[in-house]
Structure 1
Amino acid sequence: MNALSVFSFQENHPVRVVLVNGEPWFVAVDVCKALGLTNPTKSVSALDEDEKQLFSGDSNFKLGSAGKGAQSLIILNESGLYTL
């Protein structure tokens, strides 16, 4: 089961977090925005493969905004978060 939480970083930067098998995974684009990294693709490409994964959710679980439909997003584990 996946559960979504949203944390605020310095009050202005929401970071979505999804639990995958009981472990927190952070939405990469949210983390990059919160850290002031302007090129999330480049930032994430430097991470080890075990620090990131593609998350597309399922029909009962959406990370996207209302009206945007299902999205596939790169998510980071705790190690990937600290590496960024």
Structure 2
Amino acid sequence: MTTTQAISFSFQETHNVRIQIIDRELWFCLRDVCDVLSIVNSRRVTAEILDLKGVRKTDTLTKGGNQQLVYVNEPNLYRVIFP
């Protein structure tokens, strides 16, 4: 099990979105993306909108310690933004 530190960038100066580079591609923290878009239930998004081939749970170092967060690839990012 590998734990990585996510890179974070600010969106609209009030939201941070963590990203991971996986196989030379950007993956976006689903929880953060949902927060930016005011989507309350990220599990519903995963079940109803996303292509599961582009979803990964990744051990991520957070302020609270290691947590397993869900990251989505770029095509899934667009599925969340434009359902």
- Pick the TM interval, shorter chain: 0.7 to 0.9
User: Using the alignment, how far apart are the partners of 1:35 and 1:51 within structure 2?
Assistant: 19
Aligned match of 1:6 in 8, 21, 29? 8
Q: Kindly provide the amino acid, as one letter, of the partner of residue 52 in structure 1.
A: V
Deviates more, 1:38-47 or 1:9-18: 38-47
Number of aligned pairs? 76
Of Structure 1 and Structure 2, the greater strand share is in: 2
Match of 1:73 in 2: 69
CA offsets per residue over residues 6-34 of structure 1, 9 Å max, x none?
11111111000011121111111000000
Match of 1:48 in 2: 51
TM-score (norm 1): 0.81
CA offsets per residue over residues 35-68 of structure 1, 9 Å max, x none?
11011111122211112111125xxxx2x11xx2
TM-score (norm 2): 0.82
Corresponding residue SS for 1:71: strand
CA RMSD, 1 decimal:
1.5
Match of 1:29 in 2: 31
User: Using the alignment, how far apart are the partners of 1:16 and 1:38 within structure 2?
Assistant: 18
CA contact (8 A) 2:46 2:52 kept: no
User: Using the alignment, how far apart are the partners of 1:9 and 1:51 within structure 2?
Assistant: 22
Gaps of 5+ in 1: none
CA contact (8 A) 1:3 1:19 kept: no
